Structures are given as structure tokens and as C-alpha cells.
């Protein structure tokens, strides 16, 4: 398996593959990154705990042998890098029918398409699936019990499950690729709102209400795109949403805290030292919602707070003042 | 309004009523408790922040004038006290049609009946409703924004809403009394499981999965009793579940941590200094589930860990090994 993208999750996935007997190549973006990771064998910034075993080969995108022997590509780069990465992959002489498993939780450029659609456009002969769930890399790396779902091409999904699953990492097949991908994108936006609420010290009652309405909002958008409600009630929906909105490991939640503290959205990722997908996704979701005529009040307020200059307190008050659609 | 039960939530409800202009009588269980609260004007154990205003009269159940002038009774005592309290109330000469708002989150004795059914049995002429949601008393007391639902008799629900609601405490009418009450009971049992998971250090991924399956389990039981799925997706269901499973304020979550640390279930409440409703509710839920032929795997494991002598680690592993019913 070639794992493209050596962030925290890509690193842990390559480590899990190797531990379960599948040799993996971790493909970094730059030669410098590959040289450092090859030397230290661990991600010093995001994931100090996890040391890469010998069965993980480290290289970079410029290596002509980067995909040597790969029968499956795991795409762990941030969503914004997917079009370029898909183009890069399409320019390689890939074995016929090599599968792509999408690990990023975001949308394609402008929010127009889901990530599997971006992959399919560049690699029409490749089966695609998406892996998602409440899977903070830090916890998976230390062997904390975790569950995930895989959706999309069924035969590929079974291969992914068999390569990754074990007693501490359960993987279940889910038939709803649209729902799994839209859940992964939308939950990061709700986590920004949850982080804003935390940043203002509004407490656990308010945050629980926000998460509840967040899932309702995510579900409305998903159903309008043909997703299944069961996905939203499952690991990729509610599970990932709850983990992302409540965990100290969540970057998007922390990004929301930063915005509440007055950090401009443009500076959040450099301060985090990591990508916060929700920032790019929020406007994309609104574009998706417009097309199907669904309202996303939380995502709207996240965009207003992050990019519209509206004070975070005013955004959260506007949400509290609104009656929940799901009651009565 | 007479508020029966001077625990943290009863105290805060009487305080909110007084702040919104409704004189309240806070009725303690014992004369000693009333004397102390009358002197200190605050609940020193559970809720130091909140001082009772003068508009809250403090008395106890033995006071023949305890219900003087009351047109509404808010029942904030623990579930286990409800049958006796309902009997006591039935022995008073209540004004015709005085309403009961049930604040406890549990079941009647043996789990046979919901609390509103216990009230109705003793006071058949009284309208009953239940107030629920993610409402940690500590946060409501400090004015943190909070939302709740009220279900049951509609006219009474509107009175309750009008007496309690304000910009920082939103109250919405919900038409599903069965669902609201069963949510309030069941979420405490899931919170015990979440606390056990925390106690073993299983992390946020595992807890998010547990909460997700917990809501699915609660929903199955509710639907079998005629509840509405929207209630489970709303504030009394998912909202309260998330707050209870993730907040440091939650007693039931802390009770689960204690059980994971080896504290016998019989000693948990004395160590907490407060009631953990989930302990009594867990077996009652299983009785309810048996009657309608629904499986409650999490509640079963909670009972096994708390009362069956099964190690907590074995109970949580049994849950992790089980495929989630909600996927695929």
C-alpha cells in the first residue's frame, strides 16, 4: 500500500498496515520531509508516540519509485491537495484497477464535489472508497480501541477492512459513500462551532445542544444528497462528530477556540501547525446546501465568524435564539 | 411553585423561578436540611456558586404549610423517592388540578413505570409534564446558555416554559412524554458505561463510539414503547446524552469511573455525596426491554459490571467486539 501524505493519520495508517503484515510506503510531500521522517522514524510535531517500523518505507512524491509494488493507494493528504495529487497519480503508470482509499475529511475545490468524485474524475478506472469514523490518530497510535467504517466500492472496502482491522481497530462496511464523505466534511465545521463555544466558556450544556443541532443540520444536507440517515446515526456521523467536538485532540475544535480568542482564520493553521479542514469546508458546505435548498444555520454562523467579521459571541447567540428544528 | 427536593437541580430551578418573578418554596426532605439551607442560602455540597434569593422560601416536608399557595409542584427528588413523595402529596388537600412537573431522570420502582405514570397513579386529577435536556445544574446556576424541552400536558408545559424560560434558558415544547422520560432514564445508564470507559483510559474514540451506540440502544427501546425518533435526535435524547457522557459535572459518568476503579456499586453514592440515578435505572431498563423484546447490550454490560461481578474491562471488550447494529 502506498500512503500519500505523512500527516498524523497517514503516518498511523502506514504503521497499522505494517503491524498487520502489509508493507507500506509512506509518501511525503517534499524530499526534506521524507529525509527527516526517514531519519527520526516518527512525526515529531503531531505524533511523537508512534515510531514507524521497518516495514514502512519512507519516500516522497518526486521519487519515480514511490508507488513501486503498490496495489492500493491510501490518500491521507489534506482535501485541498487532492486535485493535484489525483492528477499526479493519473500521470503515473498505475497497475490496472488500483484502488484508492480516501482518508481526508473535506470537500473538493469550492465544495462542488466530494473527494471520491475528484479521485474518480482523474482515475476513472480505479475503484474508490472512503474510511471514516471517530479516529483521532493519537489514540489509534497508542492502541486505544477504535471503530471505523469504510464505504464505496465493496470489494475494495473489504480489502481495506482486512488490511487494517484488528481487535483494537474495528472496521465495518457501510453502503453509503455519499453520507460517509459528507459526514466527514460537515463534522469539522460543527467542531469549529463547538470550539468557538468552548472558547467563550459557554459550557457543556450549550455545547451538547450545539452538537445535537449540528447532527440535525448535517443530516438534512446529507438526505438532500441521497445519503442514508443510518450513516448519520452511526460511527461516521454522530460518532465522529462527538469525538471531534469534545476531544482535546481535535484540531478543528481547537481552531474554533482560536477564532473565539481573536486569531484571524488565515492565521489559525500556522498557529496550529496542522490543517484544520473545517475552515475550507465551511463555505463549500454552504455552496452545496444552496444547490439543494437546505439551510445550515450553524455552518452559516461559522462562516460569518471566521470570514465575515461577525463577533463569535453574536454568532453563537444567533444560534441559541433560534428554535431547534428537531423538537416538536 | 413548590419545588420538592433540594438537590442541585431543585435548588437551581427554585432560583430560576424566583429570578423570573415566580415566588418559590423549596421543600427539603428533612427539617435539618431546611434549617441549614435556610441559614446558608446555598447548597454547600453540590452548588456553592448559587445563592438563593429572598423570593425562595425554604421549608421541609413536615411543614403543614409546605404547599401554601402553590399552583404547581416541581418534583426534583431522586426517582426512588417519587412513590413516597407522590403518596405524601396525595395526602395533602391540593387545589383541584394542580400540575406536577417531573424533573427526575429515572424510572419508577423496578423500572415498571415511567415517573409520570407514578405521579398519575397517586394524583389522577393532576396534569403532569416532564422537563429534560442537557441541563447540568452547575452551569445553569452560573447563567451559561442552556436549552431544555418540556413534554406532557400541553397547557401545563406552556406554564412551565413561561415560568422558567429566558434568554439563557430556552425551553421548547416536545409532544413525546414517553420519549422524553425514557431518554432521561436511559442516558444515565449509558453515562455509566462512558465513565467506565474513561476510568479505564480508553480514550475519546472509544467513548464516541459508545455514545453513538448508546443513542441507538436508547432509541430502539423508546420506539418499542411508542416514543418518537425525533425526541432521541433532540435535546432530551442526544443532547442530554452527550452532555452527561462528556461533562466533568456528570455524576453518572463519575460513578462509572468509580466502578472502573473498583468502588463497589453500593458505595458509589456515598462517595459521590450525590445520587447516581443510572445505577438504579440500569436493571429497570433491562426489565422494560425484556417486556418489549429489545436488546440493550450496553445496559446489560453496565449491570454485569456494577452488580454481576464481571470486570469492567471484560464488559467493555464485549461491547467493542460486537458489530454495531446501526451500520450497513
pTM as predicted: 0.96
Phi, psi of A146 (to 5 degrees): -145, 150
- A324 vs B135, B140, B234: nearest CB: B234
Chain A residues closer than 8 Å to B243 by CB:
204-205, 207-208
State how far the Cα of A16 lies from the Cα of A75, in Å rounded to an integer. Answer: 15
Residue B188 and residue B248 in contact, taking contact as beta carbons nearer than 8 Å: no
State how far the Cα of A277 lies from the Cα of A106, in Å rounded to an integer. Answer: 6
Cell of B135: 441541563
Three-state SS annotation for B2-64 = EEECCCHHHHHHHHHHHHCCCCEEEEECCHHHHHHHHHHCCECCCECCCCCCCCEEEEECCCC
Number of other CB atoms surrounding residue B87 within 10 Å: 13
Q: Please choose, from the candidates A284, A168, A174, the residue with its C-alpha nearest in 3D space to the C-alpha of residue A233.
A: A174
Chain B residues closer than 8 Å to A235 by CB:
209, 212, 324, 327
**What Cα–Cα distance (Å) separates residue A117 from each residue in A123, A126, A278, B249?**
10, 11, 19, 44
A26 - beta bridge partners?
Answer: A3, A58
- B205 vs A136, A149, A208: nearest CB: A136
Q: Does B233 contact A216 at a Cβ distance shorter than 8 Å?
A: yes
- Three-state DSSP at A114 gives coil
CA–centroid distance for B216 within its chain: 19
For residue A46, what pLDDT is reported? 64
Phi, psi of A72 (to 5 degrees): -155, 140
Among chain A residues, the shortest Cα distance to B247 is held by: A204
For residue A251, what pLDDT is reported? 94
Q: Please choose, from the candidates B249, B59, B109, B28, the residue with its C-alpha nearest in 3D space to the C-alpha of residue A208.
A: B249
Chain B residues closer than 8 Å to A144 by CB:
201-203, 205-206
Among chain A residues, the shortest Cα distance to B321 is held by: A167
Reported residue count of chain A is: 328
For residue A69, what pLDDT is reported? 87
State how far the Cα of A38 lies from the Cα of A57, in Å rounded to an integer. Answer: 8
Q: Please choose, from the candidates B63, B174, B73, B51, the residue with its C-alpha nearest in 3D space to the C-alpha of residue B127.
A: B73
**What Cα–Cα distance (Å) separates residue B315 from each residue in A14, A75, A143, A170, B196?**
30, 35, 18, 17, 10
A204 CA to chain B: closest CA distance, Å?
6
A287 CA to chain B: closest CA distance, Å?
26
- A234 vs B147, B172, B327: nearest CB: B327
Tens-level pLDDT at each residue, chain B (328 residues): 999 999 999 999 999 999 999 999 999 999 999 999 999 888 776 677 778 999 999 999 999 999 988 999 999 999 999 999 999 999 887 777 899 999 999 999 989 899 999 999 999 999 999 999 999 999 999 899 999 999 999 999 999 999 999 989 999 999 999 999 999 999 999 999 999 999 999 999 999 999 999 999 999 999 999 999 999 999 999 999 999 999 988 999 999 999 999 999 999 999 998 899 999 999 999 999 999 999 999 999 999 999 999 999 999 999 988 877 657 5
For residue A295, what pLDDT is reported? 94
Chain B residues closer than 8 Å to A203 by CB:
136, 139, 142, 144-146
Beta strands at B128-132 and B146-152: parallel, antiparallel or unpaired: antiparallel
A245 CA to chain B: closest CA distance, Å?
10
Which ranges of chain B would DSSP assign to H, the alpha helix? 8-19, 31-40, 82-90, 115-122, 137-141, 154-164, 177-199, 203-224, 229-232, 240-246, 251-260, 265-272, 277-292, 297-307, 312-320
For residue B153, what pLDDT is reported? 96
Phi, psi of A166 (to 5 degrees): -160, -175
Mean pLDDT rounded to a whole number for chain A: 93
Chain A residues closer than 8 Å to B248 by CB:
204
For residue A232, what pLDDT is reported? 97
Among chain B residues, the shortest Cα distance to A148 is held by: B209
For chain A, state the CA radius of gyration.
19
Q: Please choose, from the candidates B95, B67, B68, B182, the residue with its C-alpha nearest in 3D space to the C-alpha of residue B132.
A: B182
Q: Please choose, from the candidates A219, A214, A204, A186, the residue with its C-alpha nearest in 3D space to the C-alpha of residue A294.
A: A219
Q: Does B202 contact A243 at a Cβ distance shorter than 8 Å?
A: no
Q: Does B235 contact A320 at a Cβ distance shorter than 8 Å?
A: no
DSSP A43: B
Residue B327 and residue A149 in contact, taking contact as beta carbons nearer than 8 Å: yes
DSSP A152: E
Among chain A residues, the shortest Cα distance to B132 is held by: A205
Our CA dihedral for A159, A162, A164, A166, rounded to 10 degrees, sits at 170
Chain B residues closer than 8 Å to A183 by CB:
none
For residue B116, what pLDDT is reported? 97
Mean pLDDT by 10 residues, chain A (328 residues): 93 93 94 92 75 92 91 95 94 85 95 94 95 95 94 96 93 97 98 97 96 96 96 97 94 97 95 92 94 95 96 94 71
Q: Please choose, from the candidates B4, B28, B200, B212, the residue with its C-alpha nearest in 3D space to the C-alpha of residue B115.
A: B4
Cell of B142: 452560573
- B209 vs A147, A173, A211: nearest CB: A147
Q: Does B242 contact A246 at a Cβ distance shorter than 8 Å?
A: yes
ipTM, two decimals, is: 0.95
State how far the Cα of A41 lies from the Cα of A28, in Å rounded to an integer. Answer: 13
Q: Does B215 contact A203 at a Cβ distance shorter than 8 Å?
A: no
Q: Please choose, from the candidates B296, B185, B286, the residue with its C-alpha nearest in 3D space to the C-alpha of residue B240.
A: B185
In the sheet that holds B146-152, the strands lie side by side as B56-60, B24-28, B2-4, B72-75, B99-102, B128-132, B146-152, B169-174
Give yes or no: A187 in active site. yes
State how far the Cα of B87 lies from the Cα of B26, in Å rounded to an integer. Answer: 19
A324 CA to chain B: closest CA distance, Å?
8
Q: Please choose, from the candidates A242, A328, A216, the residue with its C-alpha nearest in 3D space to the C-alpha of residue B233.
A: A216
Q: Does A204 contact B238 at a Cβ distance shorter than 8 Å?
A: no
Q: Does B230 contact A326 at a Cβ distance shorter than 8 Å?
A: yes
- A203 vs B144, B167, B234: nearest CB: B144
Residue A228 and residue B228 in contact, taking contact as beta carbons nearer than 8 Å: no
For residue B256, what pLDDT is reported? 97
B146 - beta bridge partners?
Answer: B169
Q: Does A239 contact B208 at a Cβ distance shorter than 8 Å?
A: yes
State how far the Cα of B148 lies from the Cα of A209, in Å rounded to an integer. Answer: 9
A236 CA to chain B: closest CA distance, Å?
9
Catalytic residue among B187, B207, B253, B254: B187
Among chain A residues, the shortest Cα distance to B171 is held by: A323
Catalytic residue among A161, A187, A228, A254: A187
Query: Which contacts qualify for A222-229: CB closer than 8 Å, 24 or more apart?
Result: A222/A178, A222/A179, A222/A182, A222/A183, A222/A186, A224/A289, A224/A292, A224/A293, A224/A294, A225/A178, A225/A182, A225/A288, A225/A292, A226/A178, A227/A176, A227/A178, A227/A179, A227/A182, A227/A183, A228/A175, A228/A176, A228/A179
Mutate which of A150, A171, A204, A235 to test chain B, going by most B C-beta atoms within 10 A? A204
Chain A residues closer than 8 Å to B146 by CB:
203, 205-206, 209
Chain A residues closer than 8 Å to B173 by CB:
327-328
Amino acid at each position: 500500500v502506498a500512503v500519500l501524505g505523512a500527516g498524523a493519520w497517514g503516518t498511523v495508517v502506514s504503521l497499522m498496515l505494517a503491524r498487520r503484515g502489509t508493507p507500506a510506503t509512506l509518501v511525503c510531500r517534499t524530499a526534506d520531509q521524507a529525509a527527516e521522517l526517514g531519519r527520526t522514524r516518527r512525526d515529531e510535531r503531531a505524533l511523537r508516540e508512534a515510531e514507524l517500523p521497518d516495514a514502512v518505507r519512507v519516500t516522497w512524491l518526486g521519487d519515480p519509485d514511490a508507488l513501486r509494488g503498490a496495489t492500493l493507494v491510501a490518500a491521507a493528504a489534506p482535501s485541498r491537495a487532492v486535485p493535484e495529487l489525483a492528477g499526479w497519480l493519473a500521470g503515473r503508470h498505475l497497475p490496472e484497477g488500483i484502488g484508492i482509499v480516501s482518508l481526508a475529511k473535506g470537500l473538493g475545490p469550492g465544495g462542488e464535489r466530494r473527494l471520491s468524485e475528484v479521485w474518480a474524475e482523474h482515475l476513472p478506472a480505479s475503484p474508490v472508497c472512503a474510511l471514516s469514523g471517530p479516529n483521532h490518530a493519537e489514540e489509534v497510535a497508542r492502541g486505544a480501541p477504535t471503530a471505523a467504517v469504510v464505504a464505496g466500492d465493496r470489494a475494495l472496502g473489504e480489502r481495506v477492512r482486512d488490511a487494517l482491522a484488528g481487535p483494537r481497530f474495528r472496521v465495518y462496511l457501510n453502503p453509503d459513500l455519499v453520507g460517509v464523505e459528507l459526514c466527514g466534511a460537515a463534522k469539522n465545521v460543527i467542531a469549529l462551532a463547538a470550539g468557538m463555544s468552548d472558547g467563550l466558556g459557554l459550557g457543556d450544556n450549550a455545547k451538547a445542544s450545539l452538537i445535537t443541532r449540528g447532527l440535525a443540520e448535517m443530516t438534512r444536507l446529507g438526505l438532500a444528497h441521497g445519503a442514508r440517515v443510518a450513516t448519520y446515526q452511526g460511527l461516521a456521523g454522530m460518532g465522529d462528530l462527538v469525538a471531534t467536538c469534545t476531544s482535546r485532540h481535535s484540531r478543528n475544535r481547537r481552531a474554533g477556540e482560536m477564532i473565539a480568542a481573536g486569531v484571524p482564520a488565515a492565521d489559525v493553521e500556522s498557529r496550529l501547525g496542522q490543517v484544520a479542514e473545517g475552515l475550507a469546508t465551511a463555505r463549500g458546505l454552504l455552496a452545496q446546501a444552496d444547490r439543494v435548498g437546505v439551510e445550515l444555520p450553524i455552518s452559516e454562523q461559522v462562516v460569518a465568524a471566521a470570514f465575515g467579521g461577525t463577533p463569535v459571541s453574536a454568532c453563537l447567540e444567533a444560534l441559541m435564539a433560534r428554535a431547534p428544528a428537531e423538537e416538536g
